[in-house]
Amino acid sequence: MYDLLLLASTLFYIAVVFIYVHRPAASVFHPASLYLLFHGFIFVLRPIAARLMDFEFVYATYQFQPSLSDKMTVILAANLGMVTFVATAMSVARQPVVFERDEFDEISRRSLRKPFIAAALILAPVGLYSIFDYWMNSATDTGTMVFDTETNIRINTTGNGYFFEMQLVLASLSVVTAWLYRFRWWSLLPFAFFVFVKAGSGGRGAFVYASFALMLLWLWENRRKWPEWRTIAMGAGVLVLFNFVVADRGKAIRSIFVADQARTYERAALKPLEHMDFANMEYFEYLVYAVPQRSGTYDYFLSNLQIFTEWIPRALWSGKPVGAPIKTINLFDYGSPLGMTTSLPGMGWYELGWIGVVIQCAVFAAIFGYAYRWLLIGKRSTFALLIYMLFLATAVIGFRDGSLLSTVKMSLFYLLIPLGLWWGIARMLKIPGAMEMRGDALRRMPDTATPERAAMTPAERRKAIASLVPASR
């Protein structure tokens, strides 16, 4: 029965992909594309691999065994989440991408380089200090993160979470540097450096995010709606590096430069794709196993309250709750789900079962869909483009984590801090944006009420506006 369900799920996925790619809006820049990629790997390819190779590592680690009904529920709920996400995203964001660039875009890109350098000079030293501090803590096993004994959630004991997360701004700074300078070989050096030092810290999510953001911007720069061999090769390289870092949490890289005294642990011999970074299927099975069968209740979206408490440092709030301020379920009562990431449909199930899957996936699809519609399609400005591309890249991690809090936290360090400071400096220097320059040029044009002006097509109007711009140097 389960084998037939996997076959049916695979055929259904192929059908949805076939329908989607024939829609005018389909492209790598549409959020539905990313979700289909995520779903295809986690809930189509990997379940087949798990069935053929008999994955047991997560079940043994988490001390539970799902029933056949639990496993079938996960496949069905994951497909419900996929349909909900794709349908919602496509209904909100129907417009196809148009690769339009004029002289105003080029002027804006050049004029924003100096304020970007100023922002980078402010943020990069803090980010570098943060990441190398983490290097040394990892090399000496002196980190300040511990597991809370009641919830098994990692919390800071003496360190500052804001300082720790500031290393993430380096990801966006390195990607934007490459884009600002048109992907010349030397402009890629900050990106390569970031990937190297982040891999040495043992972290994977940040360099995966940065790599995906770089690919998106490169494809946009080259007016390509779908990846080609260079971006595919880069993706394969990121996957190889990802698995290399998983093996020793960056110890081999750190050892090149510092005396690494971190303890090493004997790792179980795992089958391909069995390790915990890709185990959202088993995590979802654990959620179905526990909620509401054993918990007797759902979370009812109360976990989202943590969005309002997460930002207060523990040093200022001695009684700050660990995790969400209101909890109806403790998943550690039913096993040992250390390091679990819920996935988007999994979090929906945790919140409200089948209905929760629909709500969670629809909300995320609407968020990303409106971002596509307002930023990528509705506005033609440098900051709108970069905000959207960097936000879309967070989906690589956000769909896996599943929680709204995770996406909000990533947006703070990947988008709000680096792009916000850059924008603020540009405004202080009174540097106009591309849309502002277009408006000024339009006002300098002859009377718009003339028959000649009224008869212009939109393309002719844009060409006329562009003719008012001084030639590039």
Within 249-381, residue ranges assigned H as helices are 251-254, 280-290, 306-309, 344-371
Residue 147 — pLDDT band, cuts 50, 70, 90? Answer: low
* pLDDT for residue 457: 60
Element (H, E) at 48: helix 46-53
pLDDT digits (tens, 9 = 90+) for 199-246: 888 788 888 999 999 999 999 999 999 998 888 888 888 888 887 777
In the predicted model, is pLDDT for residue 394 greater than 90?
yes
Percent of the chain clearing pLDDT 90 (strictly above): 60
Q: What angle do CA 184, 188, 191 make, to 5 degrees?
A: 160
pLDDT digits (tens, 9 = 90+) for 74-118: 999 999 999 999 999 999 999 999 887 778 888 888 999 999 999
Residue 283 — pLDDT band, cuts 50, 70, 90? Answer: very high
Mean pLDDT of the chain, nearest integer: 86
In the predicted model, is pLDDT for residue 471 greater than 60?
no
* pLDDT for residue 473: 33
DSSP string computed for 320-346: --SS-SS-S--GGGSS--TT----HHH
CA separation, residue 175 to residues 112, 191, 216, 386 (Å)? 15, 6, 10, 10
pLDDT digits (tens, 9 = 90+) for 438-449: 777 766 666 554
pLDDT digits (tens, 9 = 90+) for 160-192: 678 888 999 999 999 999 999 999 999 999 999
In the predicted model, is pLDDT for residue 426 greater than 90?
yes
pLDDT digits (tens, 9 = 90+) for 329-362: 999 999 999 889 999 999 999 999 999 999 999 9
In the predicted model, is pLDDT for residue 122 greater than 90?
yes
Percent of the chain clearing pLDDT 70 (strictly above): 86
What's the N-to-C CA distance of the chain in angstroms?
Answer: 68
* pLDDT for residue 143: 60
Instruction: Determine contact, residues 325/316, Cβ cutoff 8 Å.
Output: no
Instruction: Determine contact, residues 314/46, Cβ cutoff 8 Å.
Output: no
* pLDDT for residue 391: 97
